[in-house]
C-alpha cells in the first residue's frame, strides 16, 4: 500500500470512530433503582415498562414499601436513584437528611376509602361504623402516609378507632381484608380499585379532608442522575400522568 493510500485509510477510520462516538446512546448495562410507595406499584410497573421501551438496554429496579420504611432505608445508606413518596411528610424527611437533589415535584394525589369484604357483610356505611363493637378494622401505622391520613380523619370526625392491627404499608392493610383477617381496612381508592371484586369499596365524605399528595425526586447520591431525571420526567409528563389517571390517581 502506498503512503497516500495508507493515510487515506487512516483518515477514514478516524472519521468513522468520531462519527460513532458523537451519536447519543445509552451504555448497555445502565440501570436505575426507584424507591416508591406501595400504592404506586400498579402504575409505576406500567410506567417502568414504558421507560424501558424509551431507553433500550436500561434496567429499572423498583422497591415498593411504605414511604416511612423507604425513608428509613435511605437514611441508613440504601442505594437508590429516585424516591416517590405517598406524602410530603416523608419526602420532607428525605430532604432534611440531605438525600434529595433539587426540589421534589408533586405528581399525583390519592384519597382514602374503606375496603370491606365483597357484599359488605358488616353493613359498613361510613367512617363512624368502623368504631362499632364487633368490627375488626385494620389501618396503616401513623408514620405511614395512609396512617397519617387516617389520623386526620379521626380528628376531623371525633371518631377514635381501635384497630386490630396497624400495618407498615397500605397493601398490607388490603391483604388483611382480602384474606378475611379483618372486616374492614382504610386504604386508598387506587388500592381498592386494583383489588377488583376481592373487596367492596365504601367511600366516605370525610376522606376529602385528608387527601395525600405524592412527590417524586432524584436522589443526590444517584449513580445515574441523567436516567433518574428521565424517569421523573416520564412520571410527571403526559404519558405517566395518563397511566396514573387510569389507575385512579388525581392531579395535585
Per-residue pLDDT reduced to its tens digit, 187-242: 999 999 999 999 999 999 999 999 999 999 999 999 999 999 999 999 999 999 99
Q: Is the Cβ–Cβ distance between 125 and 113 less than 8 Å?
A: no
Residue 235 lies in a domain: yes
pLDDT, the chain, mean = 90
Q: Could you list the residues known to form a binding site for molybdate, using ranges.
A: 39, 67, 170, 188
182 with 65, same domain?
A: no
64 with 118, same domain?
A: no
194 with 242, same domain?
A: no
187 with 139, same domain?
A: yes
Q: Could you list the residues known to form a binding site, using ranges.
A: 39, 67, 170, 188
Residue 7 lies in a domain: no
98 with 174, same domain?
A: no
pLDDT above 80: residue 90: yes
Mean pLDDT of 101-119: 97
pLDDT above 60: residue 10: no
Residue 26 lies in a domain: no
55 with 99, same domain?
A: yes
Q: Give the separation between CA 162 and CA 160, rounded to whole angstroms.
A: 7
Q: Is the Cβ–Cβ distance between 85 and 94 less than 8 Å?
A: yes
Residue 45 lies in a domain: yes
pLDDT above 90: residue 2: no
3-state DSSP: the chain helix, strand, coil percent, rounded to 5?
A: 45, 25, 30
Q: Helix or strand or coil: residue 114?
A: strand
pLDDT above 90: residue 5: no
Q: Which three cell numbers stand for residue 173?
A: 392493610
193 with 175, same domain?
A: yes
| Alpha-carbon dihedral angle through residues 214, 220, 223, 225, given to the nearest 10 degrees | 60
Residue 29, strand partner residues: none
What pLDDT score does 212 carry? Answer: 97
What pLDDT score does 6 carry? Answer: 43
Supply the DSSP string of 52-71, one letter for each residue. Answer: HHHSTT-EEEEEEE-HHHHH
87 with 132, same domain?
A: no
Domain of residue 84 covers: 31-109+214-247
Supply the DSSP string of 116-184, one letter for each residue. Answer: ESTT-TT---SGGGGGSTT--EEEE-TTSHHHHHHHHHHHHHT-----SEEESSHHHHHHHHHTTS-SE
Instruction: Return the CATH number at 125.
Output: 3.40.190.10
Q: Is the Cβ–Cβ distance between 62 and 34 less than 8 Å?
A: yes
177 with 226, same domain?
A: no
Q: Is the Cβ–Cβ distance between 137 and 184 less than 8 Å?
A: yes
120 with 68, same domain?
A: no
Residue 125 lies in a domain: yes
Q: Structurally, how many domains does the chain consist of?
A: 2
Residue 159 lies in a domain: yes
102 with 190, same domain?
A: no
104 with 225, same domain?
A: yes
Residue 243 lies in a domain: yes
pLDDT above 70: residue 59: yes
Mean pLDDT of 139-156: 97
- pLDDT band of residue 22 (cuts 50, 70, 90) is very low
Residue 86 lies in a domain: yes
- pTM for this one? 0.86
Q: Which three cell numbers stand for residue 61?
A: 429496579
Amino acid at each position: 500500500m502506498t503512503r497516500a493510500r495508507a493515510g487515506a485509510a487512516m483518515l477514514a477510520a478516524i472519521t468513522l470512530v468520531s462519527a460513532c462516538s458523537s451519536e447519543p446512546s445509552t451504555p448497555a448495562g445502565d440501570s436505575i433503582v426507584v424507591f416508591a410507595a406501595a400504592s404506586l406499584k400498579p402504575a409505576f410497573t406500567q410506567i417502568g415498562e414504558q421507560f424501558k421501551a424509551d431507553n433500550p438496554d436500561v434496567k429499572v429496579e423498583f422497591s415498593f414499601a411504605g414511604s416511612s420504611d423507604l425513608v428509613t432505608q435511605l437514611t441508613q445508606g440504601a442505594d437508590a436513584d429516585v424516591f416517590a413518596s405517598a406524602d410530603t411528610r416523608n419526602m420532607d424527611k428525605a430532604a432534611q437528611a440531605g438525600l434529595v437533589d433539587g426540589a421534589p415535584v408533586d405528581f399525583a394525589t390519592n384519597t382514602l376509602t374503606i375496603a370491606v369484604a365483597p357484599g359488605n357483610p358488616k353493613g359498613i356505611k361510613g367512617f363512624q361504623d368502623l368504631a362499632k363493637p364487633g368490627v375488626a378494622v385494620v389501618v396503616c401505622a401513623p408514620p405511614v402516609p395512609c396512617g397519617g391520613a387516617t389520623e386526620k380523619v379521626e380528628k376531623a370526625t371525633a371518631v377514635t378507632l381501635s384497630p386490630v392491627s396497624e400495618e407498615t404499608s397500605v397493601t398490607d392493610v388490603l391483604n388483611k381484608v382480602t384474606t378475611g383477617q379483618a372486616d374492614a381496612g382504610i386504604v386508598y381508592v387506587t388500592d381498592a380499585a386494583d383489588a377488583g371484586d376481592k373487596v367492596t369499596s365504601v367511600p366516605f365524605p370525610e376522606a376529602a379532608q385528608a387527601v395525600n399528595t405524592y412527590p417524586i425526586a432524584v436522589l443526590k447520591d444517584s449513580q445515574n442522575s441523567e436516567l433518574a431525571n428521565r424517569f421523573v420526567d416520564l412520571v410527571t409528563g403526559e404519558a405517566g400522568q395518563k397511566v396514573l389517571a387510569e389507575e385512579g390517581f388525581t392531579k395535585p
